[in-house]
Structure 1
């Protein structure tokens, strides 16, 4: 009996030892502090005014049941309508439009561009025709177009390596968007932390390492160059509305986006999935939002 008691006590002590953590060996990625501050907390569970979610993707619901569950969540949080950036053309887009058609009062489907044969003569004209067809099928806008340095990569069924949004071949498409009165959501670059050294000096390391950009790769446009492509296309297509996705990935220096807002009245932005980057500087961001509130639109979206 004494032996059994001793063994049980040993296991108990070992268990406590395992639960105890040595601060010298805790990895930063495993650091999960729990605040002990007892301060007033305001929990906002529903938007005070109706919200339009400007940046979602249809893959989040693939059935009528899933869409109905989505609508229930929208109602719970005060979201009036959601924009679905399908990034698709052809039959894939048609199927999405068909599924969401019965819920058109709550969802808008946006299409992509078809880059098939983008290096061949006559591609622009073919792509414009497909854009017009997509609009007839139900698309209310274009997006999310995406270029992280190697060219337009977000639209299906094809990728356009080496072709950026300010490429002359793209201009007929953006002109047609202006004629049709449909906006374009554009993703350029990544947050600046993804371009910085992946070391102890990077204050966004935990997220940056996962999405890091290898700037040594040949043919890659850097952050500043990609922002220039955004400015070029906005400037050269004044009759087309552009939405810079993710605050144009300029969270580290919002004066870049602010200056673009001042210069171009056809430019807007969404702050999708960038709460982590702007939350560390709340007063600065509040000042920025208040300053541009009467000048440009910032639309909300936060990934779940």
Structure 2
């Protein structure tokens, strides 16, 4: 046997048999070429993502609740709005109190908080339109006057606006994601102004001193800060709304925005 023992010979046979078996098994489970083609492209042609409208196959009991069991408060509403960077002279309302109040009564909605009440004269108009006629049904928040950031003395001006807003009847301070993602040194140009910019320190102090809660929107879903590609779980909506993406350019990351908020 040329130095081969019986044990060596049996071992070589076992290895050969195992190898043949593995090859046979692999050949048996390997799909045929035409089967692969059917799996890859079922039906005729390709379906564009924007044309994909799947119908839910979820079969569960549906419970409709037309009215809250207990009086509720809707803390996050936008009954009115003003320009993002402060260029507006009058309030824009999305509805009238006469339209909203009957709906609130039907749903047992005791109160609504209008976060985007504006600033300056716009804030006064909004309070007079919603809150003053119905003080037990509507609450209005004020917003920073961002366009004034280019003017000297802005930090104190903004702090004074908080005091004025409270005197008018505003109950809190609302910041959209303008700060951190849109507002720039020259309002619309230059580098982005960070959330923890010290020019806003007097504003935060004024809000605390006047016991006005702060509602701040600092960021968006984490996927909005990643490339809009096939790996992005929010690709469908980012593809439909490319302006929602904060990836690249000079935008901070989602984590950087949160860390800046925590330093305020």
Number of aligned pairs?
206
Is 2:229 the counterpart of 1:199?
yes
Q: Retained in 2: the 8 A contact 1:111–1:134? A: yes
TM-score by length of 1: 0.60
Is 2:76 the counterpart of 1:55?
yes
- Return 5+ residue gaps in structure 1 as ranges: 1-21, 234-304
Distance 1:130 1:88, change over 3 A: same
2:211 pairs, out of 181, 185, 203, with: 181
1:143 is aligned to: 174
1:17-36 to 2 correspondences below 5 Å: 24-35=45-56
Q: CA deviation at 1:85?
A: 1.5
Q: CA deviation at 1:124?
A: 1.2
Aligned partners of 2:228 and 2:44: how far apart in 1?
Answer: 23
Aligned partners of 1:48 and 1:24: how far apart in 2?
Answer: 51
1:213 is aligned to: 245
Aligned partners of 1:159 and 1:111: how far apart in 2?
Answer: 22
Aligned partners of 1:121 and 1:30: how far apart in 2?
Answer: 52
Aligned partners of 2:58 and 2:217: how far apart in 1?
Answer: 39
Structure 1 runs, 4 residues or longer, greater than 6 Å off: 158-161
Q: Retained in 1: the 8 A contact 2:73–2:111? A: yes
1:126 is aligned to: 157
TM-score by length of 2: 0.68
Q: Retained in 1: the 8 A contact 2:115–2:174? A: yes
1:265 is aligned to: none
Is 2:130 the counterpart of 1:109?
no
Q: Secondary structure at the match of 2:227?
A: coil
Distance 1:180 1:23, change over 3 A: farther
Aligned partners of 1:86 and 1:56: how far apart in 2?
Answer: 8
1:222 is aligned to: 253
Aligned partners of 2:193 and 2:230: how far apart in 1?
Answer: 35
Distance 1:87 1:31, change over 3 A: same
Q: Secondary structure at the match of 1:103?
A: coil
Q: Give the CA RMSD over aligned residues.
A: 2.7
Aligned partners of 2:62 and 2:182: how far apart in 1?
Answer: 45
Aligned partners of 1:130 and 1:81: how far apart in 2?
Answer: 25
Q: CA deviation at 1:184?
A: 0.9
Aligned partners of 1:107 and 1:55: how far apart in 2?
Answer: 12
Q: Secondary structure at the match of 2:260?
A: helix
Aligned partners of 1:23 and 1:47: how far apart in 2?
Answer: 49
Q: Retained in 1: the 8 A contact 2:80–2:117? A: no
2:4 is aligned to: none
- Return 5+ residue gaps in structure 2 as ranges: 1-42, 82-91
2:26 is aligned to: none
Q: Retained in 1: the 8 A contact 2:116–2:142? A: yes
